[in-house]
């Protein structure tokens, strides 16, 4: 699925992603620096009802958000020097069955991260961003179909 999103529509698209992924999902967010990965992650968390600000986990590597309906882990691996560093934050202890994982710079955690359900890639478009979603599991494909249906409605 590919969609072009203007900046003002990013919040709504993030909400749609969060609603589709409520049953748990690993979402890898790809794109160059400044492409909007953190902004989109923030929109997903806020769209699910987080009442406060959503801070970037650039220095902490992960920020958890415990919501009424789900748990969201927002990972930013940009500053990760070695994938083995994920052992220090207890990566294997994070819930992969029920929580939503939003993972920025997943390539930096290669070999230590669970396989994604969805790989989301952001690139520059005329008036905003082009977002491509690829399913990497049955759950991911079903969630992308739900995103597409909700977005087109």
Whether 75 contacts 62, CB under 8 Å:
yes
The first and second tokens of residue 51, run together, are: 């009442």
Listed range (13-17, 33-37, 148-152) with the worst mean pLDDT: 33-37
Quick one: which H or E segment has residue 66? Answer: strand 62-66
Reported pTM: 0.93
Whether 126 contacts 138, CB under 8 Å:
no
Is it the case that residue 85 has pLDDT exceeding 80? yes
What is the model's pLDDT at position 36? 87
How does pLDDT run across 95-130, given as a tens digit for each residue? 888 899 999 999 999 999 999 999 999 998 888 889
39: left (phi over 0), alpha (psi -120 to 50) or beta: alpha
CA dist 86 and 31 (Å) reads: 21
What is the model's pLDDT at position 127? 80
Residue entry with tokens 């478009």: 125
Query: What's the average model confidence in pLDDT over 58-87?
Result: 91
Query: What's the average model confidence in pLDDT over 129-144?
Result: 95
The chain-wide mean pLDDT, for the chain, equals 91
């Amino acid at each position: 699925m590919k969609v072009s999103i203007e900046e003002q529509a990013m919040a709504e698209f993030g909400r749609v992603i969060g609603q589709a992924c409520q049953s748990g999902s690993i979402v890898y967010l790809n794109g160059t620096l400044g492409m909007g990965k953190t902004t989109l992650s923030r929109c997903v968390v806020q769209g699910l009802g987080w009442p406060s600000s959503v801070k970037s986990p650039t220095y902490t590597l992960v920020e958890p958000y415990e919501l009424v309906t789900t748990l969201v882990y927002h990972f930013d691996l940009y500053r990760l020097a070695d994938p083995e560093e994920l052992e220090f934050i207890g990566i294997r202890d994070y819930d992969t069955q029920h929580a939503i994982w939003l993972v920025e710079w997943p390539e930096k955690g290669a070999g230590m991260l669970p396989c994604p359900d969805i790989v989301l890639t952001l690139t520059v478009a005329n008036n905003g961003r082009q977002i491509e979603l690829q399913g990497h599991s049955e759950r991911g494909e079903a969630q992308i179909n739900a995103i597409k249906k909700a977005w087109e409605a």
